[in-house]
Amino acid sequence: MGFRKVIGMAALAASVALTGGVQAADTIRIGDINSYKRLPAHTIPYRQGAELAIEQINAAGGVLGKPLEMISRDDQGKPGEAVRYAEELFAKEGVVMISGSLFSHVGLALSAYAGQKKRLYLAAEPLADSLVWQKGNRYTFRLRPSTYMQAAMLAEAAAESGAKRWATIAPNYAYGKDAVAAFKKILKAKNPEVEFVGEQWPALFKIDAGAEVQALEAAKPDGIFNVTFGSDLTKFVREGTLRELFQNRTVLGLLTGEPEYLDPLGAEAPKGWIVTGYPWYEIKKPEHQKFVEAYQAKFDDYPRIGSLVGYNTMLSIAAAMEKAGNTETEALVEAFKGLSLDTPVGPVTYRAIDHQSTMGAYVGVTDVKDGKGVMVDWSYRDGAAYLPSDEEVRKLRGAGS
């Protein structure tokens, strides 16, 4: 592409952004709904990753000859607000589809809306399994590896650890419940001799860490499966360390290795936990290094997992539109089924059977280096290897198509 064309495309995108969209026909608009004020440590990096992808896509000529534009709304972590904004984005802003969202209860509300209104929704980050299984529908797809997939990765490590008595702690809503259910089911299948001796269910972002740690200690487990995140994780780690809950025990942490949650702990980060996360600082794949360099150049900051997810979300949308050849909903739905694309973490495919992508996760061990929590001894696990059989998926999904 010539230099003048790139500059012209960038100028057009800037003009649209400044005016709020002169004419919807001049751009392809994507509705973005996320909990920006409720959990900014995760959602701001997400938006930045999406913005980087859109900038690169538009600089290369856009999609179907038009630039992409993202119109954002903040759902405040409330399902009702998310659905209200979804309706507004379609009716008033002319978006062709919606994407984003973080919390599972919000994602499930948007999925129900998509199914009822026949609007396309790419759930970028909600992890509840039912989003693509029990409550899945024709119009909902998901990018991130689900709770089942990541729990399966950790259950594999749990089975290898030799720990027999397990306790769990997870936030008391869809994401936490799905994660614990999947972990128990998969670990029991891998090692029928394990037993579960305790379950703790703190309310999201309202954890009484002292009481939870005391209850877990009383159960005398050999291993602990932790699903808390954000401020709940920080409080749990500090209280558990103070009371020596984690000593001489196998501890697994779902999402704990993600910079969004590990970085705030600093030197207080736990050591020796087996976690899923994002060791961006050590991933040497050329595609990933290119992404990191571009992200740092644009934002003068390092990427988080949210950054990667936002970036891959927009790459997925652009690829689906190019495959469909237009932006009509039904054509995009068919394009997403079986869609394959290259991403900074490697190839990703959206499975036709349940609309779940095969994007994987990094599994490693926590440590502290230079006063910061890091992941060591990590490896990337392909999401396709941690999904149930097609037969089981058909039973779970039922009539969903």
Verify that 104 and 28 share a domain, yes or no.
yes
Dist CA 80 CA 174 (whole Å) = 16
- Are the C-beta atoms of 359 and 127 separated by less than 8 Å? no
Verify that 60 and 209 share a domain, yes or no.
no
Closest CA to 41 of 205, 227, 230: 230
Residue positions counted in the chain: 401
Please indicate, yes or no, if residue 348 is contained in any of the structural domains. yes
Verify that 113 and 221 share a domain, yes or no.
no
Please indicate, yes or no, if residue 401 is contained in any of the structural domains. no
- Are the C-beta atoms of 165 and 222 separated by less than 8 Å? yes
Q: Which domain holds residue 81?
A: 3-146+283-360
Separation of CA 330 from chain center: 25
| DSSP characters over 191-233 | -TT-EEEEEE-PPTT---HHHHHHHHHHH--SEEEE---HHHH
Dist CA 79 CA 87 (whole Å) = 13
Verify that 21 and 126 share a domain, yes or no.
yes
Return the pLDDT at 12.
39
* Domains contained in the chain, number: 2
Report the relative pairing of strands 346-349 and 340-343 from DSSP bridges: antiparallel
Amino acid at 223: G
* CA distances for 1 relative to 63, 67, 291, angstroms: 14, 14, 21
Verify that 167 and 271 share a domain, yes or no.
yes
Return the pLDDT at 8.
41
Verify that 298 and 185 share a domain, yes or no.
no
Return the pLDDT at 11.
39
Dist CA 230 CA 224 (whole Å) = 18
Verify that 184 and 294 share a domain, yes or no.
no
Return the pLDDT at 22.
37
Contacting residues for 97 by C-beta, under 8 A, at least 6 apart: 30, 31, 119, 120, 121, 122, 317, 327, 329, 332
Please indicate, yes or no, if residue 123 is contained in any of the structural domains. yes
Please indicate, yes or no, if residue 400 is contained in any of the structural domains. no
Verify that 317 and 201 share a domain, yes or no.
no
Contacting residues for 62 by C-beta, under 8 A, at least 6 apart: 9, 28, 68
Please indicate, yes or no, if residue 396 is contained in any of the structural domains. no
Verify that 28 and 157 share a domain, yes or no.
no
Please indicate, yes or no, if residue 322 is contained in any of the structural domains. yes
Return the pLDDT at 19.
34
Verify that 91 and 54 share a domain, yes or no.
yes
Enumerate residue ranges in the chain where pLDDT < 70: 1-25, 399-401
Which tokens go with 218? 């009383």
Verify that 155 and 137 share a domain, yes or no.
no
Return the pLDDT at 131.
96
- Are the C-beta atoms of 209 and 238 separated by less than 8 Å? yes
Three-class secondary structure of residue 241 per DSSP: helix
Report the CATH number at residue 188: 3.40.50.2300
Verify that 326 and 347 share a domain, yes or no.
yes
Could you give phi then psi for residue 147, rounded to 5 degrees? -60, -40
